Amino acid sequence: MKTCILPLLLLLGTRCLGTVAITTTSLPNGTASTTYSAVVNASNGCTPYKWTIASGTLPAGVTAKPSSSTTALNFTGTPTTAATYSFTVKVTGCGGNTSQMAYKVVIQPTSGTLAITTTSLPNGTVGTPYSAVVKASGGCTPYQWTIASGALPVGVSAKASSTTTSLNLTGTPTTAATYSFTVKVTRCHGGTSQMAYKVVIQASANHVVDLNWKASASSDVTGYNVYRSPNGTTWKKINASLIASTLYADSTVANSSTYYYAATAVDIYGHESSKTAPVKVAIP
């Protein structure tokens, strides 16, 4: 029996995975002093990829780092300088194939210069709760607040608002005196603004504000509350208990101060109405 010997041919090779290509065609613009984030993606070819900035420069304050899979290049940081930045990103696949993409990123300046917008604060009286707000705007948040010089009235403390865009001064003054102090605010990544204030705390009030309002037409109203504000936006109830009549005398006002007043009605279930239109009163 004759045996046939057949030649065996083995073809060895690799599957073609395509040529590596950057798939991200544009990147978002940004704002100076505001956190920036962008991603350049690539696909095909074989990993790991190697990434480089082939030409140009990234926005100042922004850095590039490959993802853990190497299939993307992550841009993160906080731009420090407003300008137009042009650069080219290059990726190289494990087989040596490359792909490039050119980008232009515009970093806009911050929206306005940081500035304290509150120019004066109300005076107060000893033993009467004190409330005032110092506001700022412009630049980027969070803001940081400090008393740069001088001292607040004894019994009054300062605390930044939850948004950090204002500094709340609250407490009950204990010592009659004239207090001079400077408030300083610093935006994120620098930039400051300062404002000097003078607050007079009197031993007692020299004036009385007499208030009256129209009675509610609802039959189930049991009383009224009176609210006072130093600026028309930050309100504090000043009556200790519900007022049965439509009259109220505020004897806790300080000289050379401006106040805003509004009243509300409260029914038998404890529901409180919206405030009346505010009334402005200037104390001489």
What the block records as the tokens of 82 is 């407003």
In this structure, CATH architecture of domain 209-283: Sandwich (2.60)
Q: Say whether 78 sits in a helix, a strand or coil.
A: coil
pLDDT value, residue 266: 97
Q: Which residue has the higher pLDDT, 191 or 75?
A: 75
21-108 sits in which CATH class? mainly beta
Query: Mean of the pLDDT values across residues 242-265?
Result: 95
User: How many Cα atoms sit within 13 Å of 263 on the Cβ side?
Assistant: 19
CATH of span 115-202: 2.60.40.10
> Residue ranges of the domains in the chain?
21-108, 115-202, 209-283
Top pLDDT among 61 and 31 is at: 61
Asked if residue 64 lies in contact with residue 108, where contact means CB atoms within 8 angstroms, the answer is no
Amino acid at 133: V
Q: Report DSSP letters for 147-166, one per residue.
A: EEEE-PPTTEEEEE-TTSSE
Average pLDDT, the chain: 90
Q: 245: Cβ–Cβ under 8 A, 6 or more apart, which residues?
A: none
209-283 has the same fold as 21-108: yes
| Residue 23 Rama label (left phi>0; alpha psi -120 to 50; beta) | alpha
Give the percent of the chain with pLDDT over 70.
93
